Structure 1
């Protein structure tokens, strides 16, 4: 489990495509401080398992399903990704409950600088609108964010300077994709209510 508080941006330094998926080698700093073989690291919101590591980088494998459902299937050496280690049992819960199980991708529709902040607008893919509510939580590229405005088929978030500077959002522009993970609590509630209404029928 993660909290959506990105610890650092890492750089993809090598990509190897195989018949079964692709392997990424990612340079990092903070996330390597206590890394172990088999550790979970969220890479732009995608929970991946560390295969190997050295003092400067770690390697993860993307199965074919991950390649198909995320944009990690198109990243190249030099691209920046957001990194967060799995939350320890005694850790501080600063964001919200993030699984690292990306639901879909969303397209950046607009980026606007407003004073010191940034206003990002994204499209809301069909089938996910019921999970995204104004002032609710959403995870974009592994970043825990609050929905500032919800429109017809789109939503916006306000990005403070610290988040803009410490994540890969500073590299995003209209037309780019981000990973979208909706609030899992909303999905659990929907599932429970479906069962409840079925029993009432």
Structure 2
């Protein structure tokens, strides 16, 4: 379980194909006692378990399913990745409930500098249906954000300077593909409505 509040970023160090899976080795920004084997960390919104660690790097494996629904196939060595460790139960939930299960990817179609913040506009290949609502929560590359406006295929969010500078959003440009996890509450409600409509 995560909150969408990014702790830090790190860079991709190496890739290795393992059959249909992809082993991703990243620079280790944590102290040795802060992470361990089998611990789950959210990488650009994708929950992945640590397979091995050394002082300078650690490795995770993205499955075939993860590669199909995320932007990991577009990652390059030295790309910056957002990181969040699992939430601790005694802490405040400062973002929203994030599972680390990416639903799809969307494309950045516009970035507006609003003199103190940025508006990011995204477009989906598929209809967003009831999964996005204005002022609702959404996770972009692991970041908990609030939707400003949306329609069937597009939505936008406002990015404040702290989030812009402390995540990989400051490196994003028009045409880049990012990971999206829809609000889990919206997914449950949407499924319930669909079942009711079929009766």
TMscore range, shorter length: over 0.9
Secondary structure in 2 matching 1:174: coil
Give distance in 1, aligned partners of 2:70 and 2:122: 16
CA contact (8 A) 2:107 2:176 kept: yes
Partner of 1:75: 75
74-83 vs 147-156, which moves further:
147-156
Give distance in 2, aligned partners of 1:101 and 1:31: 26
Within 5 Å, give how 1:52-201 maps onto structure 2.
52-197=52-197, 201=199
Deviations 1:98-153 (A, max 9, x none): 01110000000011111111110000342323110110000000000000111452
CA contact (8 A) 2:23 2:60 kept: yes
**Residues 1:45 and 2:8 aligned together:** no
Partner of 1:9: 9
Cα deviation for residue 30 of structure 1 reads: 4.1
Give distance in 1, aligned partners of 2:67 and 2:6: 22
Summarize the Cα distance change of 1:172–1:17 in structure 2 as closer, same or farther, 3 Å threshold.
Answer: same
6-15 vs 27-36, which moves further:
27-36
Give distance in 2, aligned partners of 1:10 and 1:148: 29
**Residues 1:36 and 2:36 aligned together:** yes
Deviations 1:179-198 (A, max 9, x none): 01111101111223344455
Secondary structure in 1 matching 2:162: helix
Give distance in 1, aligned partners of 2:33 and 2:91: 16
The normalised TM-score by structure 1 is 0.93
Give distance in 1, aligned partners of 2:143 and 2:129: 19
Give distance in 2, aligned partners of 1:32 and 1:94: 26
Matched length: 199
72-81 vs 114-123, which moves further:
72-81
CA contact (8 A) 1:70 1:105 kept: yes
Give distance in 1, aligned partners of 2:180 and 2:125: 9
Ranges in structure 2 where 5+ consecutive residues have no aligned partner:
none
Summarize the Cα distance change of 1:115–1:33 in structure 2 as closer, same or farther, 3 Å threshold.
Answer: farther
RMSD: 1.6
Partner of 1:18: 18
Ranges in structure 1 where 5+ consecutive residues have no aligned partner:
none
Cα deviation for residue 75 of structure 1 reads: 1.1
